[in-house]
Structure 1
Amino acid sequence: MSAKTYHITLNGKVYEVEIEEVAAGTTPKKTTAPADVKPVANTSGESITAPMPGTILNVLVKQGQAVKKGQVLAILEAMKMENEIVAPADGQVASISVNKGQNVNLGDSILEIA
């Protein structure tokens, strides 16, 4: 039997899982996941998306700029309220997908952090 390793994304975190092939008619052995399972580093960067439809009032960072977790990256106006879009982790701005004044929909990419 052979095992294959996959990367699964769940709630924005990447996990490494191993799946073992079993022959038809055999009972797979029971395994339990270790308690210390940790997410795998997201090597492709983290996409910051719009949490709701609105208008980008301002983009406060530039491509290539280093950012810290919690730093405000952009301001999104939605339902007549200004919403701060913050960095979920330390990193560097890899790309910016929006411009000031642009309308965005729920889930639209705002920027990427590597």
Structure 2
Amino acid sequence: MIYVVNINDKSYEVEVEKGKANIVKTTTVAAPAPIVQAAPAAVAAPQTAAPAGNVSGEPIKSPMPGAILDVKASVGATVKKGQLLFILEAMKMENEIFSTIDGVVSQIMVSKGSSVSTNDILMVIQ
């Protein structure tokens, strides 16, 4: 039997026989247009000490797509390497995102409840 499996906007034709499976063909599927909804009033705006377009310092990026459950630091806070910065929910699991350097938080690009994609910049540390 041949099945079509969609993973991360790519379509895979998979042939399944008893005891084994083979990828027959890979195609790219256009992502559906996102549905834009107004943010709830309770969600705080991202904190920034400088304009969002200016990223100077060490960016802390999202390792996977998901939703920000909690932000554990604020702009101007001193952080240490290995300190917990965010809790990211992905695939019904909570993932902790830690600081990669010692420094001071100069920008926070996301807030609690934000949806993020892989490699989105969450925070900048100087």
1:50 aligns with 2:62: yes
Match of 2:93 in 1: 81
Kindly provide the amino acid, as one letter, of the partner of residue 82 in structure 1: E
Report the TM-score when normalising by structure 2.
0.55
Match of 2:84 in 1: 72
After TM superposition, give the deviation of residue 97 of structure 1 in Å.
0.1
Kindly provide the amino acid, as one letter, of the partner of residue 72 in structure 2: L
Percent of aligned pairs sharing the same letter: 55
Aligned length: 71
**Which runs of no fewer than 5 residues in structure 1 stay unpaired?**
1-43
Distance 2:74 2:109 in 1: 11
Kindly provide the amino acid, as one letter, of the partner of residue 75 in structure 2: Q
1:63 aligns with 2:78: no
Post-superposition CA distance 1:53-90 (Å, at most 9, x none): 00000001000000001000010000111111100011
Report the TM-score when normalising by structure 1.
0.61
RMSD (CA atoms)? 0.6
Distance 2:120 2:81 in 1: 21
Distance 1:108 1:80 in 2: 19
After TM superposition, give the deviation of residue 98 of structure 1 in Å.
0.1
